């Protein structure tokens, strides 16, 4: 069943897009990640223009993250004060990212920058995830205990100035690393169409020593805030959010997440991390191949406005 996407200006099979949303939703429920870093590349591979793909994934991330954040809030697993600081920084990063996004669209280099960023970014993250997972599985096979993840302890980062006390996380932490982290995630989310949960969660746990029990819920609040602003700014500045595409993705994601959550309960965490790492590496490799092979059509015409105006 073909459906016309007015902003992307392309006809697609609705069931294929629905299946993509369901597959990413399944992985989200299975692996505990937002999935934007996989969904955006899949849409691009399916022929959706990068401008529309990046912008249209944002509302899908908002919907799924808001639903999950509400669940964590009901269980009192969110550090509201920390989430507020990260959200303000994330919104600032989103605003910066929109400016860079628009500049890249105007000069016609958005496709290249997105592809290069995914190759470098996903290649590094995927490699580290696979390496850590393999070490954990080898240690488990040898009967060695898994290394402890210590939280609530201070490092040199906690000695930086402009400190604020976060009672829920039991930390007295400088605002500088929080601001840099929020701004960086906000910019990446706007430019690459990712929520950034798979980055901010490890950073909060391993670098800032935030207790694990409040990390996921706190990061979700930041993702909702920054990606909501990204959706609005994309809609206003370039009219590149394709609502039809976003709605189909959200429906598929909600359905797939339910199945993924059930399956994930029966799989070991190190195996899940290895699976995610391999998926990330596969996406990075696909982008790399697209960058080095000779295209079938050497020239193309693209609307630089990105909004189908």
Q: Is the pLDDT of residue 157 over 60?
A: yes
Give the pLDDT confidence of 233-275 residue by residue, as tens digits: 888 877 778 888 888 888 887 777 767 656 655 666 556 667 6
Q: Three-state SS across the chain?
A: CEEEECCCCEEEEHHHHHHHHHHHHHHHHHHCCCCHHHHHHHHHHCCCCHHHHHHHHHHHHHHHHHHHHHHHHHCCCCCHHHHHHHHHHHHHHHHHHHHHHHHHHHCCCHHHHHHHHHHHHHHHHHHHHHHHHHHHHHHHHCCCCCCCCCCCCCCHHHHCCCEEEECCCCEEEEHHHHHHHHHHHHHHHHHHCCCCHHHHHHHHHHHCCCCHHHHHHHHHHHHHHHHHHHHHHHHHHCCCCCHHHHHHHHHHHHHHHHHHHHHHCCCCHHHHHHHHHHHHHHHHHHHHHHHHCCCCCCCCCCCCCCCCC
Residue 308 pLDDT: 45
**Given a cut of 70, is residue 59 above it in pLDDT?**
yes
Between 180 and 297, whose confidence is greater? 180
Q: Is the pLDDT of residue 213 over 80?
A: no
State yes or no: pLDDT of 173 exceeds 60: yes
> Greater confidence, 19 or 123?
19
Which of residues 213 and 13 earns the better pLDDT score? 13
| Percent of the chain clearing pLDDT 70 (strictly above) | 80
The model's pTM is 0.72
Indicate if the pLDDT at residue 115 is higher than 80: no
Q: What is the pLDDT of residue 92?
A: 92
Residue 211 reports pLDDT greater than 60? yes
Check residue 147 and give its pLDDT: 52
């Amino acid at each position: 069943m073909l459906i016309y996407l007015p902003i992307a200006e392309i006809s697609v099979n609705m069931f294929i897009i629905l299946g993509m949303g369901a597959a990413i939703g399944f992985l989200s429920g299975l692996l505990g990640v937002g999935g934007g870093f996989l969904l955006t590349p899949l849409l691009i591979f399916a022929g959706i223009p990068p401008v529309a793909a990046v912008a249209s994934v944002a509302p899908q991330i908002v919907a799924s993250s808001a639903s999950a954040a509400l669940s964590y809030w009901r269980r009192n697993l969110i550090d509201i004060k920390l989430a507020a600081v990260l959200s303000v920084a994330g919104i600032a990063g989103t605003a910066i990212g929109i400016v860079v996004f628009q500049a890249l669209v105007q000069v016609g280099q958005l496709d290249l920058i997105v592809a290069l960023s995914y190759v470098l970014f996903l290649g590094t993250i995927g490699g580290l995830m696979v390496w850590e997972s393999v070490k954990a599985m080898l240690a488990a096979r040898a009967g060695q205990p898994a290394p402890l993840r210590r939280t609530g302890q201070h490092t040199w980062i906690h000695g930086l100035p402009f400190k604020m006390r976060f009672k829920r996380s039991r930390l007295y932490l400088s605002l500088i690393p929080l601001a840099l982290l929020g701004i960086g995630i906000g910019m990446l989310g706007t430019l690459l169409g990712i929520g950034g949960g798979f980055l901010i969660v490890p950073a909060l746990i391993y670098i800032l020593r935030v207790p694990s029990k409040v990390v996921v819920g706190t990061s979700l609040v930041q993702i909702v805030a920054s990606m909501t602003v990204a959706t609005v700014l994309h809609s206003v500045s370039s009219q590149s959010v394709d609502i039809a595409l976003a709605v189909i993705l959200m429906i598929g994601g909600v359905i797939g997440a339910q199945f993924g959550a059930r399956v994930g309960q029966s799989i070991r965490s190190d195996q899940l991390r290895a699976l995610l790492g391999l998926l990330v590496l596969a996406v990075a490799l696909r982008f790399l191949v697209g960058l080095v092979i000779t295209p079938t059509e050497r020239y193309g015409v693209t609307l630089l406005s990105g909004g189908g105006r």
